[in-house]
Amino acid sequence: MTEPFKNLLNKDVIETMTIHLNKHYAAFDAQGFVAMATENLMGLRLKERIEQITHSLIEYLPNDFEYTATILLASLDMPLDDADNNTTKKSQTNGIAGAAVIPLVKYVHLRGQQHFETSMQLLKEMTKQTPVEFELRFFLLRYPNQTMNLFTTWVNDQNQHVRRLVAEASRTRLPAATPLHAYIENPSAILALLEQLKDDQSADVRRSVANNLHDIAKDHPKLITNLATQWMQKASQERQQLLYRACRMLIQKGDKQNLALFGFNPPKLQKIQFEILTPSIVFGEVLQFRVSFNSASHTDQALLIDYVIHHQKNNSHLPPKVCQWSKITLNSGTSRRFSKKHIMRNTATRVYCAGRYTVEVRLNSIPIGAADFELLIP
C-alpha cells in the first residue's frame, strides 16, 4: 500500500532540515523550531503540516527576508538535473530536498511579496527540487511585466525544470489556481514563450506547453487551431504529439479542421454493428456495449473512437458526456471489434437520476451506432 504523501513531512525530515539551516544560520533555535513544527504532526493533514512548518520557519528565521533568502538558498540540496524528474522523495543528504522544500516555497510566497527579484531567484532554484508554479503565480499576478520579462530569459535556461516552470506557471487556467484574466483576454505574450519551447528536448516541458495551449484553446479555439496548423508544417513526431494533446478538446468536440489536421477524416466503413449488452443496469454497475465494423477503404484509416452518454430528459440541462475510447489505424480490407465497460456513478459535476439514457459510439466524431439503456436507482 502506498504511503500517504503527508507522511513525507515527518519529524525525521523536519529534524534534518534544521541541520542544514543551522549550517548557514548559527543562531537558529533548532530545538524550538522542531517543537513548533512537529506539534501534533501525526494528526495533521498535508496542507496543515505544510502551513505549520512554514509558520515555524517564519517564527525562527530572521525577519529580514533578504538575509533569510541567503540562508534558504545555501541550505538547498544540489539541483535535479535533466535526467531526473522533480521528486518529493529525494533524500536530504547534502541539503534540504524533496518534500522538505515545499514549506520553503510557501515561505517565499508569504514573506517575499515585497522582494520580487530575490523571491524569483529563490523560486527558480527551488523548482529544481519541487514544483513551484502555484506560488509563482502570485508574483505573476502582482508583477506581470517583470515576471514575463524574466520568463523570456528562463525559456533558455539549461535546467529543464526552470523551462517547465515557464510553461506551467503561465497557463491561463491552471487547475486549482487563480485564472490569469489579462492573458485569457490576450495570450500573445504567452504564445511567444511557448513558441520557443515547442521543440524542447524535455518531454515534461513539452507536456506543459501542450497543457498551456489546451487552456488557451478554451477561450480562443480558432487561434489555437490556426497555430496548430502552422506548427504542423514539417513537425517532428514529438511536436505532433504535443499538438494533439493541445487540441484534444477541439478534437473531442468534433471540430472538422482539427480532426482533418491529425488525419481523422470521415471513415469509410461497412458492416457496422453496435450492440448494448446491458439494456438495464442498477446504479453503480457497469454498462457494457460493443461495436464492430469493416474497412471500406483502399487505404489505411486513422480512427478516433469515442462514446457519448446522453442524459435522459430530467437531466437535459447536463451536456452529453463524451468519453475517449481508443485511437487506432484501420488497415485496408480489415475488420475490428471492440467491447467497452463504463461504470455508472456520480462525479463532482454529474449526478445521475433513474431513467432512460442513450449511449452513442462515434468514429472521428461521426456517429455510427446508438442504443438506449435503463438506469435503475434502488
pLDDT at 101 over 80: yes
CATH class of 269-376: mainly beta
Report the pLDDT value the prediction gives residue 90, as an integer from 0 to 100: 58
pLDDT above 90 covers what percent of the chain? Answer: 86
Residue 224 to residue 170: CA distance in whole angstroms: 16
Q: How confident is the model at residue 81 (pLDDT cuts 50, 70, 90)?
A: low
How many residues in the chain? 378
CATH 1.25.40.10 fits 153-262, yes or no: no
Q: Are 9 and 99 in contact (CB under 8 A)?
A: yes
CB-count burial class (<10 Å; 0-12, 13-18, 19+) for 66: exposed
Q: Are 165 and 147 in contact (CB under 8 A)?
A: no
> Phi/psi zone of residue 333: left (φ > 0), alpha (ψ -120 to 50 degrees), beta?
left
Q: What is the pLDDT of residues 231-277, one digit of tens each?
A: 999 999 999 999 999 999 999 889 999 999 999 999 999 999 999 99
Q: What is the pLDDT of residues 288-338, one digit of tens each?
A: 999 999 999 999 999 999 999 998 655 556 678 899 999 999 999 999 999
Q: What are phi and psi of 58, to 5 degrees?
A: -60, -40
Q: What is the mean pLDDT of residues 131-140?
A: 96
The residue extents of the domains of the chain are 1-130, 153-262, 269-376
Q: What is the pLDDT of residues 333-345, one digit of tens each?
A: 999 999 999 999 8
Q: Which of 134-138, 325-329, 350-354 has the lowest mean pLDDT?
A: 350-354
Report the pLDDT value the prediction gives residue 352, as an integer from 0 to 100: 86
